[in-house]
Amino acid sequence: MISAPSTTTAPADTPQPKAQTSGDVLHLANARLVLADTVLHGSLTVADGHIADITEGAHVSQGAIDCDGDYLIPGLIELHTDNLERHIEPRPSVDWPHLSAILAHDGELAATGITTVFDAMRVGSIHRGKGGYVKYARALTDEILALRKADALRISHFLHLRAEICSETLLEELDEFTPEDRIGILSLMDHTPGQRQFRDISKLKTYVAKKRGMTDSEFNDHVTHLKGLRAEFGDRHETGAVTHAKRLGAVLASHDDTTADQVAASVTHGIGFAEFPTTFEAAEACRAHGAAIMMGAPNIIRGGSHSGNVSALELANADLLDIVSSDYVPSALLLSAFRLGALWQDLPRAIRTVTANPAQVAGLPDRGELARGRRADMVRVASMGDTPVVRGVWSKGRQVG
């Protein structure tokens, strides 16, 4: 069961794309409609950006789009993706023009069937050492908000602050945000070496040292510095981030919980869902506490975690998986849902992990399901063997992909 978010106000939606103008009607016919609990061969009608009607049958009326028996599913909802960061920094220390980067990110997501995204941005910086990084979230937020105001984006963009506990400046950076920024999610991130995602420090070395070109000595200094930051700032940062989440009206998420005790602490903080628990023990504890469990699509596609953590497929087989995130590969979200559909022999259940379930924990009751009155966020999906292929994407009734 997916619990409702602790916040009472949903984050502001992106003005773009505009709904169809009054009188415009879109008909999609001869489709396999993936509804909440069943697949219906039928037609769907959109008016004024919302689903107006759903009917059963293969008839294609004049003027309707013949979907040729393809699936029609709700638009995918992405709660945590690093994809925007990849666009603004395509190589270490390469600062790409942000307007171009945001638009490219927006277009890429639309092409993969994602119609709602919570753009994840790190808050909390490290200024010393080769493995350091500087702040960027406040300036990037302003740029995203300006593009939203200008109706320049294809899909719905919300904001997700990744609060890095193991940093020097987390609370100072969070102070720069206000409730008017309408932050949708704030996640508690702790990448201190030797625990959570990087219990195996060799995995961290493979990731960071290669990316930053560190020598063994530089990497060892980096690890020592991070552990020192956690000891000096960690508890204060964690407590302060929880306070800021409440001040900003954001849904709070945990990240990389590993033990039952860590899950219990996250629940005490008031999390709305748990991102990427790293062990079976943590996932079981999430279920016992009623916290929704989110895992990464790449973990599903690869059959395991690149960091050596618990397999998402193992959790799926144990009924310990509620939500899927594309994480660092946008196209993985749709593919993972169909992989889960085959695993569970239940496509509607699998599609809910990337539509209705994330919508529920994020406080977005207007989307995530093909149903009368919901936003007309939809994806037409064909098959090439066992691979789903996007053949059309609509955001609030307007085709964007």
pLDDT tens digits, one per residue of 372-391? 999 999 999 999 999 999 99
Segment 69-96 mean pLDDT: 93
- Residues 260 and 19: their CA atoms lie apart, in Å, by 45
Residue with tokens 């219906």: 40
Dig out the tokens for 29 from the structure: 């016919």
pLDDT the model gives residue 298: 96
pLDDT tens digits for range 113-166: 999 999 999 998 876 665 556 889 999 999 999 999 999 999 999 999 999 987
| Runs of H (alpha helix) within 112-215 | 137-149, 170-174, 201-212
The residue behind tokens 């980096």 is 222
Please compute the mean of the pLDDT values over residues 69-85 and round it to a whole number: 96
Q: Residue for token digits 């059959």?
A: 303
Ramachandran bin of 131, using left for φ above 0, alpha for ψ from -120 to 50, beta for the remaining angles: alpha
Strands (E), 48-106: 50-56, 65-66, 71-74, 76-81
Tokens of 306: 């690149």
pLDDT at 4: 45
Whether residue 13 is predicted with pLDDT greater than 70 in this model: the reply is no
Which CATH number, 3.20.20.140, 3.30.390.10, 3.40.50.300, 2.40.50.140, labels domain 76-365? 3.20.20.140
Is 80 exceeded by the pLDDT of residue 47?
yes
Determine the pLDDT at residue 220: 75
Evaluate if residue 21 carries a pLDDT over 60: no
Look at residue 150 in the predicted model and tell me its pLDDT. 96
What is the predicted pLDDT for the residue at 7?
Answer: 43
> What pLDDT is recorded for position 212?
65
Q: Give the whole-angstrom CA distance, residue 138 versus residue 366.
A: 28
Residues in the chain: 401
For 234-280, what is each residue's pLDDT tens digit?
A: 789 999 999 999 999 999 999 999 999 999 999 999 999 999 999 99
Confidence grade of residue 29 (pLDDT, cut at 50, 70, 90): very high
**Helix (H) and strand (E) counts in the chain:** 13, 16
Q: What percent of the chain has pLDDT over 90?
A: 74
Detail the DSSP E strand segments found in 128-250: 156-164, 183-189
pLDDT at 192 exceeding the cut of 50: yes
Asked whether residue 343 carries a pLDDT value surpassing 70, the answer given is yes
pLDDT of residue 91: 85
When comparing pLDDT for 167 and 204, which is higher? Answer: 167
Closest CA to 208 of 2, 200, 111: 200
Q: Using one digit for the tens of pLDDT, what is the confidence trace for 280-337?
A: 999 999 999 999 999 999 999 999 887 778 999 999 999 999 999 999 999 999 999 9
Give me the phi and psi of 51, to 5 degrees please. Answer: -75, 120
Q: What is the pLDDT of the chain when averaged over all its residues?
A: 89
Percent of the chain residues past pLDDT 70, beyond the cut: 86
Q: For residue 324, what are the CA distances in angstroms to 80, 89, 256, 298?
A: 9, 25, 14, 10
Please report the pLDDT score of residue 280 as a whole number.
97
Cα 190 to Cα 184: distance, rounded to the nearest angstrom? 20
Sign of the Cα torsion 222, 223, 224, 226 reads: positive
Identify the pLDDT of residue 197. 64
Cis before 17? omega within 30: yes
Q: How many CA atoms lie within 13 A of 353 on its CB side?
A: 30
